[in-house]
Amino acid sequence: MDYKDAGVDVEAGRAFVEQIRNLVKSTTRSEVLGKLGAFSGFFELPSGYQQPVLVSGTDGVGTKLKIAQAVNSHETVGIDLVGMCVNDVLTSGAEPLFFLDYLATGKLDGAQLTEVVAGIATGCRQAGCSLVGGETAEMPGFYQPGEYDLAGFCVGIVEKSRILDGSRVEVGDIAIGLASTGVHSNGLSLVRKIVSDRQLSWSDRPDTFTGKTLGEVFLTPTQIYVKPVLEALRVQHLPIHSMAHITGGGLPENLPRCLGTGQSVKIDPTSWQIPPVFDWLAQMGEVSPDAMFNTFNMGIGFVVLVPPDGVAATLEWFASQGLGAWAIGEVVPGNGELLGIG
């Protein structure tokens, strides 16, 4: 008996590492040392920081993977994976430096997992960070045939005196919402339940989506906000006080996390155009407006807080980058709540 009899094919693992070599290389920044196949990833600290702080985050894609696996389309979930991690790291004002992935599957399917890694590499290039390591775990009996799980990990860097958190926020600051590309990577369990309960199929093309299948609509990759936001901070010097990434729990859960003490934020849900996908979900699933806001991003994937006199320049900057941006609310005295909905 040997390891292959037990369902683990070490040779297939080695072949896979060769297949993804060029994908990994496409993300390489000048600070990367060493090579694929080493025990670890090496990244030389960028110069120019006085008191560098490392900012790290980890996340997965959740059950969005189930949709990718149902429609056998694996090229975008890697973008979601990178997006979920780098957008979190970005909230502090940090520049994402490098990324690692963990990919677990029941039976290693090299073609399928190469598509997944291609998406991760695309996401890393969009975020300007290097893919410096990863683990591909073949775990027989743990995952169903054709299924895999994904986790990602990102490290960024920020000057200590420039860390953004609630401490800079003032009552009267304006919340600028940046457009999401759809549900991103949160709330997909509810999406799947609605699609299943209504006996729909991922290949259906409801009129709302002008020719797109449900699979295509719900696999739209997560917007990566790194480049326009970092340039807003470091090149345009826009007066951003704090930032929030709108993920699980929606605006009510995430926007208050970027406030200072003694502050709430009042939003006006009519101030931006909620994308049709959310109306469709609310209607098909008979989901209350409250539950919709507590589960989905409702079209706002990232929020920056600026003083009133910075609003016009901030809106203009993001519009110039092709990213929808709206003044969606205002910081008010309070106790860490989101007001204005429900």
Backbone angles phi and psi of 259, in degrees to 5 = -90, 165
102 or 209, CB closer to its own copies? 102
**Minimum CB separation from its own copies for residue 321, in Å?**
22
Question: If binding is defined by CB under 8 A, does position 124 make contact with its own copies?
Answer: no
Restricted to residues 264-323, the positions that interact with its own copies (CB under 8 A) are 285-288, 291, 294-295
Distance CA 290, CA 28 (A): 43
**Minimum CB separation from its own copies for residue 193, in Å?**
4
DSSP 8-state secondary structure symbol assigned to residue 213 = -
66 or 266, CB closer to its own copies? 66
Q: Judge contact between 108 and 15, C-beta under 8 A.
A: no
Number of Cβ within 10 Å of residue 125's Cβ equals 16
Restricted to residues 23-42, the positions that interact with its own copies (CB under 8 A) are 33-34, 37-42
**Minimum CB separation from its own copies for residue 286, in Å?**
6
2 or 207, CB closer to its own copies? 2
CA 329 to chain centre: 23
Question: If binding is defined by CB under 8 A, does position 337 make contact with its own copies?
Answer: no
String of contacts with its own copies for each residue 148-167, x by CB under 8 A: -x-x-x-xx---x--x-x--
Question: If binding is defined by CB under 8 A, does position 7 make contact with its own copies?
Answer: yes
Distance CA 175, CA 322 (A): 19
Q: Give the containing element (helix H, strand E) for 295.
A: helix 289-295
User: Counting beta carbons within 10 angstroms of the beta carbon of residue 249, is it exposed (0 to 12), middle (13 to 18) or buried (19 or more)?
Assistant: middle
167 or 273, CB closer to its own copies? 167
Question: If binding is defined by CB under 8 A, does position 253 make contact with its own copies?
Answer: yes
**Minimum CB separation from its own copies for residue 200, in Å?**
14
Distance CA 53, CA 214 (A): 42
Closest CA to 221 of 327, 67, 324, 105: 67
Identified binder of its own copies from the candidate list 65, 77, 174, 240, rule CB under 8 A: 65
120 or 311, CB closer to its own copies? 120
Restricted to residues 185-214, the positions that interact with its own copies (CB under 8 A) are 187, 189-190, 192-194, 197
Please name the residue that has the structure tokens 């599957």: 105
206 or 313, CB closer to its own copies? 206
Q: Judge contact between 331 and 172, C-beta under 8 A.
A: yes
Number of Cβ within 10 Å of residue 161's Cβ equals 8
60 or 239, CB closer to its own copies? 60
140 or 172, CB closer to its own copies? 140
Instruction: Name residues whose C-beta falls within 8 Å of residue 237's C-beta, 6 or more positions apart in sequence.
Output: none
Identified binder of its own copies from the candidate list 68, 132, 300, 303, rule CB under 8 A: 132
**Minimum CB separation from its own copies for residue 203, in Å?**
20
Closest CA to 239 of 320, 174, 158: 174
Restricted to residues 39-58, the positions that interact with its own copies (CB under 8 A) are 39-45, 51-58
DSSP 8-state secondary structure symbol assigned to residue 3 = T
String of contacts with its own copies for each residue 68-97, x by CB under 8 A: --------------------xx-xx-x--x
Number of Cβ within 10 Å of residue 338's Cβ equals 23
